[in-house]
Amino acid sequence: MRKFAFLISASALLISSCMPPGAGQGEGGTTFSAVLPFILIFALFYFLIIRPQQRQSRERKRMLAEIKRGDSVITTGGICGRVISVEEDELTVEIAKGINIRMVRSGISEKTDSGTADGKSKGGN
C-alpha cells in the first residue's frame, strides 16, 4: 500500500511540476497542459494495472496449454490431483487412488511440483 501512495504522490508532484507557473490561479493554460495530467494518469494505470494483468493472462494460457499426462495440478476448487489423460479441452484427474474426475482445462488453477499433489512430500518425511 505504501508503494501505491508513493507512486500517487510522485505522479502528483510530476503533474504539478509540468504545469506552467500560475496555471492554477485562473490564468488560461495551453491545451497540452490541460491534457498532460490525463496522459500521465493513463500511463500510470497502464504500467501498474493493465500490463501486469496481460502478462499474467499470457502465463496462465501457456501453463494450461502445456498440461500433460502425469502433471500434478490443483483445481480452482482446491482439489489436488494428478493428470491421467488429456484430451483437447478435457482432462481426467486422479484425486485419490481409483477416484478420477473429468474436468475442463480452465478448471486448473496451477501446476505443482510432481509428488506434492498426491499428498507425498519430496522431503522424505
The pLDDT tens digits along the chain (125 residues) read 555 555 566 555 556 665 555 555 555 578 888 899 999 999 999 999 999 999 999 999 999 999 999 999 999 999 999 999 999 899 999 999 999 999 999 999 999 986 544 444 444 43
Distance from C-alpha of 37 to C-alpha of 50, rounded to nearest angstrom: 18
pLDDT of residue 80: 95
Q: How many CB atoms lie within 10 A of CB 48?
A: 13
pLDDT of residue 56: 95
Distance from C-alpha of 95 to C-alpha of 106, rounded to nearest angstrom: 17
Which H/E stretch holds residue 29?
none
Closest Cα to residue 108, out of 96, 95, 121? 95
pLDDT of residue 86: 94
Q: With a threshold of 0.85, does the pTM exceed it? A: no
Whether 119 contacts 96, CB under 8 Å = no
Whether 82 contacts 120, CB under 8 Å = no
Rg over CA atoms, the chain: 25
